[in-house]
A and B are shown apart, each in its own frame.
Chain A
């Protein structure tokens, strides 16, 4: 086996024994989770199962009590948030988190991976490469015609897309999306599913979602979390037919 082949088989994200406890309450409890290259993984589970906390732990927003998170051979649990991003992890928040006072163009530009330090930001030039990249991403997220629109005037669904676009600007190897279709119309959901299929080419995507139709349309594999632990994992079909999953989540 060649070195490259070995790399390819290794999961891009390996979470092992991950635990976080808040005042004794274990929000995530000895969790193991592996995500392969180019995989679209959806995490589902009832409220309070620890889904968002897992994303918080990966991107460094919350610090683990114990366990490890290996991303591309790097141990994320000890890195600064901005270094985790620079290593190739992008994260979308549950509520669209965009800069409402800036235009769509400026929002996207803000995530362009240059001018990230004080003095390089001070002397950052809006070069042709930056403009081309922003326009490319804007077309991808259906906002190509709205570049000069101030972001607070966008619809809720467009704001969700804009935040996804901001992550794409960073060209991350792992894209984490917390409820990307929440508050979207049926049409927008379909568009978003297509968007996800396109942007998952060449990268891994980790999605938290409640909308089962949407999950079915995008997921390669589904992980069900319950009380901070993995309850079931596998194809959508096997998970849906799992009696334990029906009991705690789908049945309700």
Chain B
């Protein structure tokens, strides 16, 4: 058996997971200073969205250009809790109405709006971070998938929703903090989030949650549902006329992607210390698709690398050549679509793995895959076959 090939297969396999874990849990914390590590933590919150997009777009063929909505809703839920904690009557005693968030006071609001009241409770907040975005995704999914709105029309609608939510947040200044967002978040249950030690702990919590999402993703893809997603993406009619209610599967995977994005958003608010409409709208939503595309939309781990690399590039170029960055990003996306549709993970699959294998083994390749496997092997749930189609089949 070709052990190396098996371990390094393009699917998110255990060695690949271990390598990424080593990088995130050991290498980054040991080599980066607190500021840079916090930055990586921020990039990793986008990786949640990218992992969700692998399931929803890569496997399910549902290209959502509005994942920022779920990232934002999750982030706002967390930010509302933190803001309320930061706005205790003592520290806001100079306001006209002490005990409410400062931006409400500036907007002549004299009473905490009903929408904010439940966010005094931390357990409610944790629940809301997941439930509110999933409910939103469920409603969008029911409205669109049940009516067979798919492909590019679905993408356009999600983009419109991202725009609507941004406009809503900006317009409701007294309720949402408007274009500035919710800022000056200080403590979580009395624990000061601004210290280096808190940031380090949050970084590890964030990384652990990300791996939790990757494992959920692996479980979904290895199940029959994972194969069904691919089948639906390629031959939706055949799946429908094999006795499946296609819409419910799409709604499910869209809700999972929304939940992942929302966790990322909440961790963003915790680590970065604010939440604003700039992370909700069309541009961030499309950027998130680009992270996924660059990393490889068929690879859960690739998506994480994509989020890390593109964001690193964005930071680097924004610091040195800010005017060039947008063109670079556009060029990158075009290059991915035209030349390497399966992103970095695809390149690794087609080139890197063999090169590494040759380097390490210096022995000829064996094992044609077509030979029938023994029955014992077949009993195990198998990961879906590697994807071969290109972006052209996608909206």
Residues of A within 8 A of B (CB): 59, 61, 80-82, 85-86, 90-91, 93, 97-103, 105-106, 109-111, 113, 115-118, 121-126, 128, 131, 145, 147-150, 152-153, 163, 166, 170
* Cβ proximity bits B193-221 to A, threshold 8 Å, 1 near / 0 not: 00000000000000000000000000110
Q: List 28 A-B contacts (CB under 8 A).
A: A59-B241, A81-B240, A82-B243, A82-B244, A82-B245, A82-B246, A85-B243, A93-B238, A99-B235, A101-B384, A101-B387, A101-B388, A106-B382, A110-B227, A115-B224, A118-B249, A118-B252, A121-B223, A121-B249, A122-B223, A123-B223, A128-B379, A131-B375, A148-B370, A148-B372, A149-B370, A150-B370, A170-B242
Distance to closest chain A CB from B388 (angstroms): 6
Of the candidates B220, B223, B235, B369, the one whose C-beta lies within 8 Å of that of A97 is B235
CB of A145, distance to nearest CB on chain B (Å)? 7
Which of A91, A101, A110, A148 is within 8 Å of B373, CB to CB?
Answer: A148
> Which B residues touch A109, using CB under 8 A?
224
Give, as a whole number of angstroms, the nearest-CB distance from B384 to chain A.
7
B335 on interface, CB distance cutoff 8 Å: no
Contact of B248 among A117, A126, A128 (CB under 8 A): A117
Enumerate chain B residues within 8 angstroms of A153, measured Cβ to Cβ. 370
Interface centre among A82, A115, A149 (most CB of B within 10 A): A82
Do A131 and B387 have beta carbons less than 8 Å apart? no
Q: Cβ of A116 and Cβ of B235 under 8 Å apart?
A: no
Q: Find the A residue at minimum CB distance from B220.
A: A122
Bound-state Cα–Cα, A163 to B220, Å: 26
Question: Quick one: closest B residue to A150, CB to CB?
Answer: B385
Q: Beyond A97-B238, A131-B378, is A122–B225 a contact (Cβ under 8 Å)? A: yes
Say yes or no: B385 contacts A101, CB within 8 Å.
yes
> Are B224 and A121 in contact (CB-based, < 8 A)?
yes
A111: nearest chain-B partner, CB-CB: B242
Residues on B with beta carbons closer than 8 Å to the beta carbon of A148: 369-373
Contacts of B243 in A (CB 8 A): 82, 85-86, 111, 113, 116, 170
Complex interface: chain A residues within 8 A of B382 (CB): 106
Give A170 to B242 CA distance when docked, in angstroms.
8
How far does the alpha carbon of A131 sit from the alpha carbon of B252 in the complex, in Å? 27
CB proximity of A216 to chain B, nearest CB, Å:
29
Contacts of A117 in B (CB 8 A): 245, 248
Q: Does B230 contact A (CB under 8 A)?
A: yes
In the assembled complex, the CB of B238 is this many whole angstroms from the nearest CB of chain A, namely 4
Distance in angstroms between the alpha carbons of A128 and B243 in the assembled complex: 22
Cα A208 to Cα B252 in complex, Å, equals: 37
> Is B231 an interface position by the 8 A CB rule?
yes
Identify A118's interface contact among B248, B369, B379, B384, CB under 8 A: B248
Greatest chain A CB density within 10 A among B369, B384, B385 is at: B385
Q: How far is the CB of B148 from chain A (nearest CB, A)?
A: 11
In this complex, the member of B224, B380, B381 whose beta carbon has the largest number of chain A beta carbons within 10 angstroms is B224
B234 at the interface (CB under 8 A from A): yes
The complex places the Cα of A117 from the Cα of B378 at a distance, in Å, of: 23
Cβ contact of A110, chosen from B228, B369, B387, cutoff 8 A: B228
> Nearest chain-A residue to B373 (Cβ)?
A148
A204 and B130 CA atoms in complex are apart in Å by 50
Apart from A166-B238, A166-B242: 8 A-B pairs, beta carbons within 8 A: A99-B238, A102-B231, A102-B384, A110-B224, A116-B244, A118-B252, A124-B225, A126-B380
Distance between Cα atoms of A153 and B230 in the complex (Å) = 17
| Given A116-B244, A126-B381, A131-B375: A101 touches B234 (CB 8 Å cut-off) | yes
Instruction: Rank and list the top 4 A-B pairs by shortest CB-CB distance, nearest first.
Output: A85-B243, A124-B224, A121-B225, A97-B238
CB pair B237 A93 closer than 8 Å: yes
Find out whether the CB atom of B245 lies under 8 angstroms from the CB atom of A80.
yes
Distance in angstroms from B242 CB to nearest chain A CB is 5
Smallest CB gap from B255: residue in A: A118
Q: Are A99 and B378 in contact (CB under 8 A)?
A: no
* Interfacial chain A residues near B220, Cβ < 8 Å: 122
State whether B231 touches A99 (Cβ < 8 A): yes
Give CA–CA (A217, B369) in the complex, Å: 39
Chain B residues lying within 8 Å of A126, measured Cβ to Cβ, are 378-381
Collect the chain B residues with CB atoms within 8 Å of residue A150's CB: 370, 385
A122 to B284, CA, bound (A): 31
Asked if B108 is at the interface of the complex by the 8 Å CB criterion, the answer is: no
Query: Quick one: which of A59, A80, A103 has the most chain B CB within 10 A?
Result: A103
Residue of A nearest to B252 (CB): A118
**In the bound complex, how far is the Cα of B240 from the Cα of A61, in angstroms?**
10
Question: Are the CB atoms of A118 and B381 closer together than 8 Å?
Answer: no
